[in-house]
Homo-oligomer: A and B are copies of this chain.
Amino acid sequence: MKIGFIGLGNMGIAMAANLLKAGHEVTVYNRTAEKAQPLVAQGAKRADDIAQACAAEVVITMLADDHALESVVYGEKGVLECLPKGAIHISCSTISVALSEKLASDPQRAAQQFVSAPVFGRPEAAAAAKLFVVTAGHATSIDKCQPIFDAIGQRTFRFGDKPSNANLVKLSGNFLITSVIESLSEALALVGKGGLDQREYLEFLTSTLFTAPVYKTYGNLVIEKKFQPAGFLAPLGLKDVRLVLQAGESLRVSLPLADLVRNRFLTLLANGGESLDWSAISQISARDAGLK
């Protein structure tokens, strides 16, 4: 397939590379152009602007936030203006439910198809084509996209024909990850202050009731305090918890555990944590408990 790919961060680069490996024709675009270099070396075409990236059957956007996606879509010579009729826009970014709804229902883009397909996995998983793809949109559009999803992920989950469903799943999934971080942080502060060995405690947890990788991964990060380099930056974690709370507010669903996590992020960021991994919110529990 002829694919445009917009947004070459840690995740986007790895995803685009896997599309190339799978034999697709990929034109890549990034605001700061040098990011495209390694992909061009692997056979990608470089687009000089969004319009060139849109000369495709499918354009994929993998951007940092709502704001970035809005300017790429609605800006002059943006996706809305340039993507051909019948072509598909796949949004893989973690964006708000509200923006996803707006993108899906925009009457101006009726002739374009919109598929939401956020992904789960850290950069290593993206590189290994082991992402989990969560998607929603018209079934025929998604069917067309399936080879793309197969190239970047290990499994695809479909959540109906309303694209924003996929975003709600993504946001609530990230919320669940932060819940694991928070609960582990509190438990580790407790047993740590009680004099137990945190590593033995984690080993116990992850070999009995809490065998999911998410406990192992984050438990180790919290205990080792390996917050740099960040796999996922704390400010992005705050953004995601804000988006899940916004979705909750629209739907009139209170999410007190998400509030708690949001406050951890605010406290972390007010105290110098801008460049740390999101698991660094665990430091707030530790500090509150008087642990160094």
Which B residue's beta carbon lies closest to that of A177?
Answer: B209
User: Which chain B positions have C-beta within 8 A of A182?
Assistant: 179, 257
Q: How far is the CA of A184 from the CA of B162 in the complex (A)?
A: 23
Which B residue's beta carbon lies closest to that of A159?
Answer: B196
* Contact call A257/B288, Cβ cutoff below 8 A: no
Q: How far is the CA of A288 from the CA of B255 in the complex (A)?
A: 10
A200 interface residue (CB < 8 Å to B): yes
User: Which chain B positions have C-beta within 8 A of A289?
Assistant: 251-254, 267, 270
User: Which of B169, B183, B204, B211 makes the CB contact (< 8 A) with A257?
Assistant: B183
User: Size of chain A's interface in residues, with CB distance under 8 A?
Assistant: 74
* Contact call B193/A169, Cβ cutoff below 8 A: no
User: Which chain B positions have C-beta within 8 A of A215?
Assistant: 212
Which B residue's beta carbon lies closest to that of A207?
Answer: B155
**Which of A24-32, A74-82, A103-111, A240-248 forms part of the interface with chain B?**
A240-248
For window 191-231 of chain A, which residues contact chain B by CB distance below 8 Å?
191, 193-197, 200-201, 204-205, 207-215
* Contact call A253/B189, Cβ cutoff below 8 A: yes
**Which of A8-16, A48-56, A258-266 forms part of the interface with chain B?**
A258-266
User: Which of B120, B205, B272 makes the CB contact (< 8 A) with A176?
Assistant: B205
User: Which chain B positions have C-beta within 8 A of A205?
Assistant: 173, 176
Q: How far is the CA of A194 from the CA of B185 in the complex (A)?
A: 30
* Contact call A175/B194, Cβ cutoff below 8 A: no
* Contact call B257/A165, Cβ cutoff below 8 A: no
* Contact call A176/B172, Cβ cutoff below 8 A: no
* Contact call B168/A194, Cβ cutoff below 8 A: yes
Q: How far is the CA of A252 from the CA of B286 in the complex (A)?
A: 11
Q: Report A257 CB to chain B, min CB distance, Å.
A: 6
User: Which chain B positions have C-beta within 8 A of A263?
Assistant: 254, 256, 259, 288
Q: How far is the CA of A259 from the CA of B263 in the complex (A)?
A: 9
For window 156-190 of chain A, which residues contact chain B by CB distance below 8 Å?
157, 159-160, 162, 165, 168-169, 172-173, 175-177, 179-180, 182-184, 186-187, 189-190
A65 interface residue (CB < 8 Å to B): no
User: Which of B162, B186, B244 makes the CB contact (< 8 A) with A256?
Assistant: B186
Which B residue's beta carbon lies closest to that of A248?
Answer: B190
A249 interface residue (CB < 8 Å to B): yes
Which B residue's beta carbon lies closest to that of A97?
Answer: B194
Apart from the given pairs A169-B201, A173-B205, A190-B247, 16 other A-B contacts in the complex at a CB distance below 8 Å:
A159-B196, A160-B197, A173-B187, A176-B205, A177-B209, A179-B183, A210-B214, A211-B213, A249-B262, A249-B266, A252-B270, A253-B270, A266-B288, A267-B288, A270-B290, A284-B288
**Which are the 3 A-B pairs with shortest beta-carbon distances?**
A270-B290, A179-B183, A254-B263
